[in-house]
Amino acid sequence: MKHGFVFLMCALLFCACLQHTGSYVQKRYEDVDAYMKAREQLIQAELAMRFDADITLTPEEEEANRRLMTLKAEEIERTRGHFPPAHSFLESKTKSLIAQSPVLEIMRRMPKGGILHVHGFLMGDYRWLINHATYRSDCYIYMEKNKKRAGGELQIFEDPPGNGWRPVNELRKAADSVQDFDENLYQSITLGEEDLVQPDIWVEFTNCFRRSMGMFRNDKLLDSYRRMVFRELTEDNVQYIESRSYGSLATLEKIQRENPEFKVKFITYAPRSSSREQIAQMLDFALNQRMARPDLVIGFDLVEEEDKEHTNLFFIDEFIKVRHKAEDRGLTLPLYLHSGESNWAESENVFDALLLDAKRIGHGLALFKHPLLMQIVKERDIAIEVCPISNQVLGFVADLRNHPAVLYINSGLPVVICPDDPALWKSTFSHDFYEAFMAWGLDLKSLKKLAMNSLIYSAMNPEEKEMALKIWREKWAEFITWMNEH
């Protein structure tokens, strides 16, 4: 019965679409002019469905757009032999071509608003970790084989740990080349061209994460790292982030006092591989954190590979119980769930994300396989956190021109661009915008909408959003002026 209802709804939606577009298709055209008129009407009708249809560019923006689209055409011609979005971002040739691009420079200068999907420990330049953390006398590396540890784990210890751990400085001193030693350390905690031969990139992705996380257990190091990250983000013209991470609320408050225009909120999370008991504990922790600082702690998420670990539905009892607990305490615990980060049509996490009233959907790659769910997402105005480079590197979309986000954008669904784990693939937020701009048929109007969406669909309260948009509009006006002067 359920499947029959879904099929009926999809059929009705499809028929309605056919009826709407059928008026543009004629059995006979008087001449080429009549055909071209019908063709233009059909194109405009589809453009009216796009997510940026409500954006009207000023004359200054129109001029900037003409310049931008000329550069885009030149970029397509320049990279015709190796179009970057069609090749893995991990390939050195791909990165080299992007690095030389004037389009990337424009993406860097463009005020991008906020980042709504990023993992806090994985968004800075990891060379900083090599140059700072691994040169500390209390930094150790695990050198033995152990199924419970990823070889080469790095960690800060107050006292020498022994049991397979060696001081990094001791090994560096014994190395033939300090430069090669540091480069090998860097490769061990990031993904690169050498990892394209991995049979399962998720395994190496997880190992990179495990090798670096031990260094962040040191509060002073974490504080210094975060300050570096926020400097990088400011230079990349980002003004707001919602980070999947833990950390001292006091540290976040201090950062915001020092950077009043830069706002930070965070989403607590738990691994999908956790037991139900562990998830219950993490949900209680998240609720307590939110009660302590509802202005900073905005919700909860599940992370790790969806296809191999527990589904959203597996923890449904825990989700429902914590919702009741929140209600009893006069609170809410919003969900921002990774859902649909999968190539499988059988993936049902998006169903449960919608039923659990998720405020946004992380990745949402599988959503395009569910037309009724797409309609619900559009009607309920739920933003999809799209992570172009992450989706490519982790094996979901080899050629970004085929990314489901193109369908979401053209169908009028709310979309935001996000970098996910840029430290691991050595990218910046600007690289994600470059890939999306070049691969998805975007223009300045689309970029403007994406930047605004990142603030509109944030968890900021109305007053915070109003101020953030005011700051962004001022920066955008400066950007348009720069575009038209160069």
Lookup: tokens for 256: 């915001």
**Mind giving me the DSSP string for 272-325?**
TTS-HHHHHHHHHHHHHHHHH-TTTEEEEEEES-TTTS--TGGGHHHHHHHHHH
Give catalytic status of residue 363 as yes or no: yes
Strands 114-119, 263-271: pairing is unpaired
> CA–CA separation, 198 vs 335, rounded Å?
33
- Running DSSP on this structure, what letter comes out for residue 132? H
Candidate list 87, 363, 370, 431, residue with the active-site label: 363
Q: For residue 479, give the amino acid letter.
A: F
Q: Look at strands 139-142 and 165-167 and give their pairing.
A: antiparallel
Q: What is the DSSP string of 166-231?
A: EEHHHHHHHSS-HHHHHHHHHHHTS--GGGTT-S-HHHHHHHHHHHHHGGGGSHHHHHHHHHHHHH
| 262 close to 230: Cβ distance less than 8 angstroms | yes
- The yes-or-no answer on residue 341 being catalytic is yes
Contact 464, 43 (CB under 8 A): no
By the 8 A CB rule, do 111 and 475 touch? yes
Instruction: Assess contact for 377 and 384: CB atoms under 8 A.
Output: yes
Residue tagged active-site, from 306, 341, 385, 435: 341
Output the CA–CA distances (angstroms, integers) from residue 91 to 214, 310, 432, in the order listed: 28, 32, 15
Enzyme catalytic residues: 341, 363
